[in-house]
């Protein structure tokens, strides 16, 4: 299934039905008295979370969603039928913004939450409401009010406890495939991961957490360079950041500089990411040259960041338990 995490749609609620002008037809009752019913309310456009969805693909196919109009009132004080709502199902973690003002309208971060994006118009009153001592036979009724029109932007922000960040080919996909049920594509070239993937990691029988593999960041990601800006939002909700560093990356041979570059991107995106708890993970410790390099830079990384540094080989599961224990200490 194609992964869509942002889309813009137009939502239009239904107009309210018009009130009715009507009179009873009874023998010996002049004009019969007013009995015009009210118009029905227009349908609303409602967004509701669905735990079975993981992408905005369904709503991205259509750019406009409209609810039904309310029915007009009728005689005998009969109210018109209410317009049918238009219900759009979206993944848990969907944030809704007004396109014009960029205002956050709702953050649907739990199951079975719903938000009325466009409220249906109110039905007009029938002439039975306008009778008075001076006007026993009113020929007045209200029209229904029009529905709302709004252009909204939907952004999906994955719900994960732990987010993996790092340069391309740092070993993020290998790690998440080793510790969880996620099966991302793994290859020895950059940007193998083109969409975020989630995996459930179980530490004990009653303790587990969700890990997110974010496509590789590069310098300038927060301004739109590479794939980073598109996916940085997916670590906004994470409680811990695992910063993976490949100490023997031939394309980027300076691990300290690599660490600083990714930290700069997180800080530029927002303080809420920069201040998130972080564990630094030096990967590929099954390679002798990686082990030698890690011994040289661990002290510098600890001094620079003040964070825990774990040396790891996901391929051989070296230090995997230590990493999961460190994550568990923060989460639980």
Beta partners for residue 23, in sequence order: 34
Band (191; pLDDT cuts 50, 70, 90): very low
Least confident of 29-43, 58-72, 150-164, 298-312: 29-43
The mean pLDDT of 131-150, rounded to a whole number, is 90
What average pLDDT does the chain have?
A: 85
- Residue 159 has a pLDDT of 78
DSSP secondary-structure letter at 233?
Answer: G
Cα 210 to Cα 201: distance, rounded to the nearest angstrom: 6
Cα 244 to Cα 169: distance, rounded to the nearest angstrom: 10
- Residue 107 has a pLDDT of 93
pLDDT of 43 strictly over 90: yes
Q: What is the pLDDT of residues 94-111, one digit of tens each?
A: 999 999 999 999 999 888
Residue 129: Cβ within 10 Å count:
16
Phi, psi of 320 (to 5 degrees): -65, -40
- Residue 231 has a pLDDT of 66
Domains observed in the chain: 1-156 (2.70.210.12), 162-331 (3.40.50.300)
Indicate the angle between helix axes 172-179 and 320-331, nearest 10 degrees: 80
DSSP secondary-structure letter at 209?
Answer: E
Q: What is the pLDDT of residues 201-240, one digit of tens each?
A: 888 777 888 888 877 665 554 444 444 456 677 778 888 9
Enter the tokens of residue 241.
């950041």
Question: Whole-prediction pTM value?
Answer: 0.73
Band (133; pLDDT cuts 50, 70, 90): confident
């Amino acid at each position: 299934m194609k992964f869509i995490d942002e889309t813009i749609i137009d939502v239009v609620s239904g107009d309210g039905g018009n009130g009715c002008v009507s009179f009873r037809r009874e023998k010996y009752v002049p004009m019969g008295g007013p009995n015009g019913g009210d118009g029905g309310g227009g349908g609303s456009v409602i967004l509701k979370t669905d735990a079975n969805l993981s992408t905005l693909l369904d709503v991205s196919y259509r750019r406009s969603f409209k609810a039904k109009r309310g029915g007009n009132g009728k005689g005998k004080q009969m109210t018109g039928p209410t317009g049918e709502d238009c219900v759009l199902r979206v993944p848990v973690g969907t944030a809704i913004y007004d396109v014009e003002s960029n205002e956050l309208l709702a953050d649907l971060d739990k199951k079975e939450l719903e938000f009325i994006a466009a409220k249906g118009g109110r039905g007009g009153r029938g002439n039975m409401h306008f009778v008075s001592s001076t006007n026993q036979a009113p020929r007045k009724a209200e029209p229904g009010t029009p529905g709302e029109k709004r252009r909204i932007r939907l952004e999906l922000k994955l719900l994960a406890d732990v987010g993996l960040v790092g340069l391309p080919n740092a070993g993020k996909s290998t790690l998440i495939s080793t510790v969880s049920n996620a099966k991302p594509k793994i290859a020895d070239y950059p940007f193998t991961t083109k969409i975020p993937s989630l995996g459930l990691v179980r530490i004990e029988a009653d303790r587990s957490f969700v890990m997110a593999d974010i496509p590789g960041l590069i310098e300038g990601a927060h301004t739109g360079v590479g794939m980073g800006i598109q996916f940085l939002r997916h670590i906004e909700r994470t409680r811990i950041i695992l910063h993976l560093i490949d100490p023997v990356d031939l394309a980027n041979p300076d691990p300290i500089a690599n660490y600083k570059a990714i930290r700069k991107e997180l800080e530029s995106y927002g303080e809420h990411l920069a201040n998130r708890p972080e564990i630094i993970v030096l990967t590929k410790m099954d390679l002798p040259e990686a082990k030698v390099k890690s011994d040289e830079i661990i002290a510098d990384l600890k001094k620079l960041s003040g964070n825990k540094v774990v040396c790891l080989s996901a391929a051989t599961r070296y230090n995997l338990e230590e990493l999961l224990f460190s994550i568990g200490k923060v989460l639980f």
